[in-house]
């Protein structure tokens, strides 16, 4: 996603100027989920700045048995699971490391060696931020953004053996038709064949294009056989 996109209708300061939208799931815990995602965004701001990364939308995703995070179109959308199967909040640092994994996919849309080099560099940088006690800049740096704190209260935090999804990452996706494979058994259709199909659909079988009926042209030209097509719409052959 190109850098420089900003919200003009934001009602409050953003925790991360490189994330345009933060979207929790609707429901009774949406305010807490919003708080959780904003803290995730605030803490990873230095890494995003240093690596020139930007995200259009950071979203909460409901619990599922497959993954904790995934990335669409190299950062257009990043989705994170925030709750366990029983509804308790996942540990903040665990989710933040999932965020590092998904941010690495903004540079490498695969799980190659190059990807793991980027991911490990991001993870090490995050550990350095944790060691400094960095939680964000401005309002978020002072912790004043914690409207509820429910996601970090004792008893509300899920255990890592509490039936978490099988995979950390659900993969990367491109939604703009790149690399799509043709369905098995479906052959490519030439332009000429597509044109003929349109004519048959509109005029039926046996139709003749205008100006191509030799007998009709001969009658209009008083018995002369003229192979040329009419140049003027008002002519007899036209």
In tens, the pLDDT along 32-69 reads 999 999 999 999 999 999 999 999 999 999 999 899 99
pLDDT top residue among 228 and 181: 228
Q: What are 101-110's pLDDT values in tens digits? A: 999 999 999 9
Helices (H) and strands (E) in the chain, counts: 6, 5
pLDDT top residue among 150 and 7: 150
Q: How far apart are CA 55 and CA 213, in angstroms?
A: 61
Q: What are 180-200's pLDDT values in tens digits? A: 555 555 667 777 788 788 777
Chain-centroid distance of CA 225 in Å reads 62
Structure tokens at 182: 């043709």
Domains detected in the chain:
19-173 (3.40.390), 209-238 (no CATH)
Asked whether the beta carbons of 85 and 53 are under 8 A apart, the reply is: no
Q: What global pTM score does this model have?
A: 0.67
């Amino acid at each position: 996603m190109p850098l420089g996109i900003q919200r003009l209708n934001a009602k409050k300061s953003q925790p991360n100027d490189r994330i345009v939208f933060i979207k929790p799931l609707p429901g009774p815990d949406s305010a807490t989920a919003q708080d959780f995602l904003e803290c995730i965004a605030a803490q990873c701001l230095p890494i995003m700045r240093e690596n020139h990364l930007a995200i259009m939308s950071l979203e909460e995703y409901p619990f599922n048995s497959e993954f904790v995070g995934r990335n669409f179109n190299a950062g257009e959308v990043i989705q994170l699971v925030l709750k366990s199967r029983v509804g308790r909040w996942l540990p903040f640092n665990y989710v933040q490391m999932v965020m590092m994994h998904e941010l690495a996919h903004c540079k490498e849309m695969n799980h190659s060696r190059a990807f793991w080099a980027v991911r490990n560099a991001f993870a090490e940088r995050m550990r350095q931020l944790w060691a400094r006690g960095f939680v964000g800049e401005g309002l978020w740096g002072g912790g004043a953004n914690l409207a509820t704190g429910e996601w970090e209260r004792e008893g509300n935090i899920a255990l890592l053996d509490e039936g978490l999804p099988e995979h950390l990452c659900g993969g990367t996706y491109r939604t703009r038709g790149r690399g799509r494979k043709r369905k098995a058994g479906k052959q490519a259709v030439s332009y000429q064949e597509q044109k003929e199909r349109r004519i048959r659909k509109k005029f039926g079988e046996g139709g003749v294009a205008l100006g191509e009926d030799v007998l009709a042209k001969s009658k209009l030209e008083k018995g002369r056989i003229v192979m040329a097509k009419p140049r003027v719409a008002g002519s007899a052959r036209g």
